[in-house]
Structure 1
Amino acid sequence: MVLGRHLLFLPVFDSIWPKLMSDGASSPTSEESDYEVSPALRKRLQQLFEHASQMMSKPKYDYDYAHSLLGECCRRDPANLVYVEKMFENLDLKFKGKKKGSVFSAFGGKGNVKKALAAKKWLEVISEGIDLLKNNPYDSVTLRAMVDACAALRFNEVGLRYMKNAMDGSPGDMEVMRHCARYLGKVGQFDQAISLWHFIEEKKRGDDEANKMISQLTIDRERRAQGLSTVTNRLDPEEAAKLRRKQLAAQEESGEAPPAAQGPLTEKQKLKNRIENNPDISSNYMMLIDLCCEEGKFFEADEVWNQAQAHFGDTLELIEKREELMMVKARHRFRLAEKQAAATPTPELLELVETARNDLNRIELEVFSKRNQRKPGDIVLKYELAVRLKRMGNFEQAEQLFDEVAAADDKHYAICHLNKGECLQSRKQYKAALAAYEEGLTRAENMSSDGLKLLLYRAGVLAQGLKDWVSASKNLKRLHKIDASYKDVKLRLDKLL
């Protein structure tokens, strides 16, 4: 997402904004962002989203009604960037791309947002803001309040999107620029924040805040590169204390007695004690998060991550742990939906399975895309990204990455050609697919037994369909020799003989 393409007054944004979604901004977390989008709710929101999208495909439609549908999606799933993007797309069509700043000064006409902001009712700030954006999607005062809410809730990517419209609507406003620079620092976008503070300092020589932030952010950038805690994007002590108090309250509500009253400590209690006694060892937080996930206590895992983020700031280790949490929770929702559908296979539950599967695939694709951008030389990450692209139907992109991985690593050669062949077959490039399978079989010594059997089966069945009897017979006979009970290999061989 290129956030600054309209900011022609600021050429440095051409290099800053395209990177904002790939430089390691942490994912949504906070004490108030523990909302869970159940498969049933996600299905309802997706229906609203699709209805609005269908309306928007027509030359004329009711913009305000579309906004009510998309606004509801953004309220109920406020960290969902796709919903927010579509909401702004509709508003851009409504106002025909015309940008205007705030109609009222300060919070004039925006009393509900002001009250919610003062009370730190962050989700209410976002909800009230969505209503106000219907009349002016570039209202920088409202948008900056929503950005502050996103900062508190750690809805970082969505906050960046709201910030874009604030900047677009007030392209020469230095206060809006400062707000943006501060936010970039809070979400760990140190390079981009430094660039913007430099621009501010050039416009106002000797600016104390700009000079201070450039120095602090430069130090934080170096500390993060070394895996050390950072300052700019660390929660303030009051907020960190709130998180700890909430964690203790949750522990009391769950009925956990103090360790002394329970006899031998569990591994989880031991880790909590270690963190309490020495909060500077990050590995204890990571192990505790893993234990919480093993027990299916994802909210507790989020709380531990919040505690670690409040102490260390956005280190790469924490960013990647948050990504793991997102994937683990999505897999859990998918397995739960599958289990429910298996017990009662109604059309509604089967549709929920498909929705949960699509959510899982989308989240995994987003995570591995970011990881590949952070570590472009990592072959394993590139392979995992290619697999996710394939699952999402982006076959040509996947094929390109499978080729790159196969060329760089012999151990992945055969499995990459199996996956590439499946991509080509999905695109009805049958001869090219068979050639990929056959090429994979030439260097399949590093393949797992299951992988080799699948590769032989794919090659044999496709050759049979193309009436290449020699190749079909060769591959199916080899498969039969390895595992005579594999799928329908015996039946297929009988037809060939």
Structure 2
Amino acid sequence: MEPSLDSNGKLIVCEGKSSRIYQMRDKSSNKKMALKCYHWNDPVLELRYQHLADIKKNNDISFIVPCKFIPQGTTIQGETNPVLLMDWIEGVPFREFIFRAAGVPRILDKLARLVLRIERKMYRAGLAHCCIEPDHIMLGSNASDERGVLILLDYDNIWVPSLAHRNILEISNPDYQHPGRLKEGIYGPLADRFPLLLFYTSLTAIKVMGPKFLKEKAPEQGLLFSKHDLENPNDSQIFKELLGQKDPFLRGLILEIQDSLARPMAWIPTLEDSVKNITQEAEKGSFGWAEVNFDSLPDTGPIEEESHSISLKDTINEMAATAANRILHGDFDAGIQLYIDCCERDPGNLQCRKKLRDAQMKKLDNKPPSGFGLGRSTKSRVQGWLKSSQFAKALEAGEEGLTYNPWDSAAMRVMGRAADGLGFNDTASWLFQSALKISPNDLEILQDLAEFLERQQDFRSARILWEKILRLNPSDQEAKDRAKELGASETMKRMTDNRDVIISSAPKEVTALAEEQRIRTLIQEKPQWAPYYIELTNLLKKANRLEEAESILRIGIVQSEGDKKLLLEIAHLEKLILTKRIDELKHILSQDKTWPFAKIAEDCLKTEQRRRDSELLKLRVEADPANMASKLELGQMLVELGEIDAAITELQQSRKDPRLSWKALISLGKCFSIKGNATLARRNLEDALKSLPQTEDSFRKEILFSLALSYASENDFAKAVEIGNEIANIDFTYQGIGKLLDEWLLRSKQGQ
């Protein structure tokens, strides 16, 4: 293999975004090859190309170029990076070819059919390119020497089911991507649907409108549509112009794009289904010219919204009046439930929430119950909803718990964070203040309220709270720094008298943008300060800009040298992204129950979720090494993940706690059984039996059954029968123990 030279004796090379591609020549066959040299390395690259090679062997995807990934490709100044060797494709870049063929409808029709074929075959192969744009498509010949076909290039970001938990390595051209993908960072089997819909629609529009239209309307990089058009379809001139055409099929496609922009990406149908449905509707006359008349369309949106809000307000008022009447007549349960229903329908209705709390306290004669705090299941639900950013659900679960103890300050604190997440500032403030009134020296409540007030630019109140935190905990360096910084912010605010007026009168989007810019400026001034990154991340999460939030946190982790709060925050964010991907797969299955790759991808994502959970637990254990419950939970999770040696370490420490010892011993028995050490497995299981509470019959049967199987596997059938009889005495139907006893008895007699 040697590099090819042009007529001037120079290397033939193409510059990519993150690599350089050289034309090479095989000396023996004289065949041209492409050598892609990366300037960087990522372990997922090799995995993706391995899976791609396997998929290509078993599927007809001739639009994918055969390639060979070489991990140890180049070494420059001691740094080793991979290379990719593939066939050299002779052809024309997609965008350039479209401009050449814009006046030939027959060719445009063929290209549109090829786009359809690519989507169909990739979906059937369980594959998504995830970086579809004209720079990654050529018109040329494939490996089967089929001429005039579309060839996809650049497979660094491909999605395959067994790597569903991995992230995209490169952001695609925004002129071809759903704005939701750029904000949310969605990466999965549906990532190509929207860009392929854009390609198909662009080809149809060029066929209808002609080459002159393309030359006039094509943006610098896109075909017809730009990032601005996709983010603002109602104000887009190209959308309006194409919707005004007489061709019903073209108009149907434009309406499909607008519908896709208004819905979550997971709800975008396949291009094949879209084309089929649009064709049928166009034949019925559904997209006829008479339907489009922009000037005559009535502007009913605001009226409908107003009537809806009035209807909701009336309903809430009626329900609240009924609730008050029920409580007046002593029917507290019915009244409280009605108030809870009001809060669920209108989470920001502070008046209803205050009346609900009064009713909850009055029901208990205004005396806090002896059992303080939420129940374990309710508490985990509230925290779970909060972690997954489902703030309304967190508020609902919190109110259910407060019905039993309306003085639970911990619940109010979590609910305050949820209300803040929804943007209900008055409700959040009231919940935080209520929690603080009950627990005035609770450091978590003080910190959450201080951070909330700082976001509301009430710097004076926030400073006072941070100073109180510092008095309660003099070693808290964060409290010391924040109090000092807020003192400066308070002074600056007093110097700008009209600032409050400007902020209060500005649109919500403007104030959010100003707040984002303020935090970014603070990060530039003090890049190692972790709380700024968390504050900016929370702002981005509210706007559903998850990918940006993750990127900010990774920068913060580097700058702060691994701050644990940032590590926890990114672990929570990654779990949220994984949950979104699982939801996307569930939606695919609801539409196509026969798609065989969903289960593989879902198992992959759930395994990764457990891995992230274990990482969170490790951080918790590091922060509180004496917490044996966390060590036990971590050990059990590591067993599920197959990390047996690490699990044994955590479980052996947690078994020292008498309250947890039997659970730890059961898990240790499983660990040693997996490692093939039957002696240690039985020893731990027998110790578990000794410390097992009398009420735990299900675990008793499980332990005895494991012991019986262990002895039977070593041909000690007499011992297996002895233990099996104990199980049969408790539950004769358990795991078919009756039949096993017969078998072991027979084997025992044969061995005598």
Pick the TM interval, shorter chain: 0.3 to 0.5
Relative to the length of structure 2, the TM-score reads 0.30
Relative to the length of structure 1, the TM-score reads 0.44
The structure number with the bigger radius of gyration is 2
Question: Which structure has more RCO (C-alpha within 8 Å, separation ≥ 6)?
Answer: 1
Q: Determine which structure has the larger helix proportion and give its number.
A: 1
